[in-house]
Structure 1
Amino acid sequence: MGSSQFQRALADMKRFFIGSTALLLLLPLILSLLSPSDGFIVVSKSFNTPELHAGAARLLKPESNTRLRLVSASQQEAEALELELKDAEMVLRQAMLKSNVKVLDSLLDDNLWFTNHLGQKIAKEDDLNAHEQGFVDIQEVDLSDMKIRLLPPSNDVGVVTVATHIVGSFAGTPFDDTLRFTRIWQREASSSKWKIIAGHSSVDQSENTS
C-alpha cells in the first residue's frame, strides 16, 4: 500500500474523531488492518461509523476477503473466556494422558462432584489416587464436537460438552470407548483460574454401536 493511500485512510478516520482523544483508541485497529490474519477484524460496536468503514476499505486491498466484524465489549470478553475454557480442556487432556497429578489437582475443585458412565460417584481424591497409584493408564484421548456455554451475567461459570474417544486400562482391564463428557467449570474470583466443580460422563451410543 502506498503512503498516500495510507494517509487518505487515516484522514477518513480522523474526520469523525477530530478534536477527540478517542482517535488514540483506533491505533490497535489501524495496526490490525495492516496485517489481518483470520479474515475478520474485530471492532467494538461503539466505533461503528461510516468514516471507519471508509478508512478500512482503503487500508484493505481490493482483493482481500477480510471484513469488519462488529462486536460489543461483552461479546469480546465472552469469546476470550471461551478460549480460556477450551485451553483448559486441552490442559486437562494432557494431564490425563500423562497422569500428571499436580496439574489435575490444580484443575479439579476440592469439592468436585462427578458421576461416571457406570453411575459411580467420584470425588477429587478418588481421581487423583487412581492416577497417582497407577490404577488408570490412559493411552489415547481424542476430543471432538466440543461445545462451550458461559452462564451470564458474570460468565464465571461455563458448561463444556465434548465427545471423547478414550483408550487405556483400569486396574489392568483394557477399555476403548467413546464417552460424552459434560463438565461445569467455575472461574475463581481470587485467581481467575478455571476449575471443574462438577461433571458427568455417558456412553456415546452413536459411536459405540456394534
Structure 2
Amino acid sequence: MTQDEQIIEYEKRLLEALKTGDIQALDELLHDNLIFNIPTGQTITKEMDIENYRSGIMTVYDISTSDRTIKTAENVSTVVVTVYLKAKYADQIIEGKFRYLRVWKLTNNTWKVIAGSGVQIQ
C-alpha cells in the first residue's frame, strides 16, 4: 500500500471516529502534540478535542468529504479536503461546507494528525 493509500484509510478512520464519537480511535489517531485551528479561529489541543467529544459538547450528525488532495514528503502527509458537516457544538447547530488541512505524521509505524485547520466555505 502506498503512503497516499494509507492516508486515505486513516482519513476514513478519522471521519468514522468523529461521526461516532469514538474516543479510543480519536486517541489513537491524534498526535499527543496536536494543534488545530477550528473554524471559529480557536486553537485546540488533542486533550481539548477529545474532551469535546467525551463530554458531548461536540456531536457529529453527518460528515462526508470531496475534493481531496494529498501531498507526501517522507514521513509527513498533508491533506486538503472539502468536508460537508452537520453537527452540534455546545447548543449551536453547525451545517455547511468546510475546507480542512490536516498534517499526518508517521510515528512508530502509525499515522497521526499533528496539525491542521478548518474554515467554512460557500
TM > 0.5 between the two? yes
1:131 to 53, 68, 73: 53
> Aligned runs of 1:1-210 on 2, under 5 Å?
80-151=2-73, 155-188=74-107, 191-204=108-121, 208=122
Shift of 1:171: 1.1
| Uncovered stretches (5+) of structure 1, i.e. residues with no partner | 1-78
Partner-residue secondary structure (3-state), 2:48: helix
Supply the RMSD in Å over aligned alpha carbons: 1.0
Aligned equivalents of 1:103 and 1:144: distance in 2? 22
Shift of 1:174: 0.9
Q: What amino acid does structure 2 have at the position aligned with 1:180?
A: R
Aligned equivalents of 2:83 and 2:109: distance in 1? 27
In the superposition, the TM-score normalised over structure 2's length comes to 0.96
**When you count helix as a share of all residues, which structure comes out higher?**
1
- The C-alpha deviation readout for 1:133-189, integer Å capped at 9, x for no partner, is 1111101001000110001xxx2100000000000111121110211000000001x
Partner-residue secondary structure (3-state), 1:118: coil
Q: What amino acid does structure 2 have at the position aligned with 1:91?
A: R
Q: Indicate the structure (1 or 2) with the bigger Cα radius of gyration.
A: 1
In the superposition, the TM-score normalised over structure 1's length comes to 0.57
- How many pairs were matched up? 122
Q: What amino acid does structure 1 have at the position aligned with 2:105?
A: Q
**When you count strand as a share of all residues, which structure comes out higher?**
2
- The structure whose RCO (Cα within 8 Å, separation 6+) is larger is 2
Aligned equivalents of 2:27 and 2:92: distance in 1? 25
